[in-house]
Amino acid sequence: MAAMAALEAELAAARATIATLRGEGAADGAVPHQKELEEKTKALEAANQELRSLTQNLDQIVRQRTRALAESESQLKRKNVELDRLNRMKAEFISIAAHELRTPMTSVVGYLDLIVEGRLGELPGDLRRPISSLRRNAHRLKRLIDDMLDVSRLETGRVSLHRAPCSLNDIVSAAIDEFKPIAGAKRQSLEGRLSDVPPIDADSDKVHQVVSNLLANSVKYTADGGQIRLSIDVHEGQARLRCWDNGIGIPPGLQARIFEPFSDVHTAKHHTSNSPDSAGLGLYIARGIVELHGGSIRVESEEGRYSEFTVLLPLVGAERS
């Protein structure tokens, strides 16, 4: 750039000289010496030549850079295609593995339920504890397999929603009834604040799954004797569900992460129940389901004080996104 400026200055000076020679600028009309004129002309030609070669260099550099840019762009495209392929393979692998595991697991869980409930005969006393532990872990495995299936269906766009007008009030009431005994076992109060919300345009089973996940988390991450509250109302033309608890809360920096897969942001020692830890897929699945409905989910929390999850879902008649 400095070289260009110097050349331009030199050019300007040469132009001024020519102008003077032509008598355009010379006030006294004096004609300079022929030699001086030749020197200036030569300098001008040299400067011109240098300018041309600089321009050529510049052109070459620009061409080289453009080629390199195009190459890295096509490399990036190839890598993206490869990444896509690997991602699809991963989803397919998870899907196949989960499908293959589910059938035998259903039978294992079913038999263990029958054994623990004593429907296949009385269990010897010393086997009760180990068999109960076996059953708990089998249920845990089955939940994990079900979650993996949900994730792979969501990621490959294979979740079909059976949407119909349904009552959020009914869904939430049913979930509260289901969780009352579990919360009761931890002496937690589980309160429903239900107002009349017009029908939502949703797959009621899937919404039930979301509500259950939120409630299960509230029970899990709230200490014995804590409070859990579910409320529903209409907010800015959408149905709003809020699940609040005064549990351990979530650190601010980690609040966005909990909607990612495998996102247990609390170490096991913070868990307030003896139930086995899950894989951290619940909220990822919940978000997938809610977004598939055209809704949204978010969290507000203060560590050590409370967590509140808010889900917005479209009412019947709202335009589908």
The binding site for ligand ADP (CB under 6 A) comprises 213, 217-218, 221, 245, 247-250, 258, 263-266, 278, 280-284, 307
Q: Cβ of 121: how many Cβ atoms within 10 Å?
A: 8
- The one-letter amino acid at 241: L
Contact 258, 299 (CB under 8 A): yes
Report the nearest approach of ligand ADP to the CB of residue 277 (Å).
6
Angle at which helix 125-155 crosses helix 34-116, to 10 degrees, equals 150
Q: Among residues 202 and 285, whose Cβ is nearest to ligand ADP?
A: 285
Angle at which helix 125-155 crosses helix 282-292, to 10 degrees, equals 40
Report the nearest approach of ligand ADP to the CB of residue 215 (Å).
9
Q: Among residues 295 and 306, whose Cβ is nearest to ligand ADP?
A: 306
Report the nearest approach of ligand ADP to the CB of residue 76 (Å).
32
Ramachandran assignment for 236, one of left (phi > 0), alpha (psi -120 to 50 degrees), beta (any other)? left
Q: Among residues 171 and 258, whose Cβ is nearest to ligand ADP?
A: 258
Report the nearest approach of ligand ADP to the CB of residue 261 (Å).
8
Contact 263, 226 (CB under 8 A): no
Q: Among residues 281 and 289, whose Cβ is nearest to ligand ADP?
A: 281
Report the nearest approach of ligand ADP to the CB of residue 83 (Å).
25
Q: Among residues 40 and 208, whose Cβ is nearest to ligand ADP?
A: 208
**Which residue of this chain has its Cβ atom nearest to ligand ADP in the complex?**
282
Contact 31, 42 (CB under 8 A): no
**Selection from 52, 40, 50 nearest residue 16 by Cα:** 40
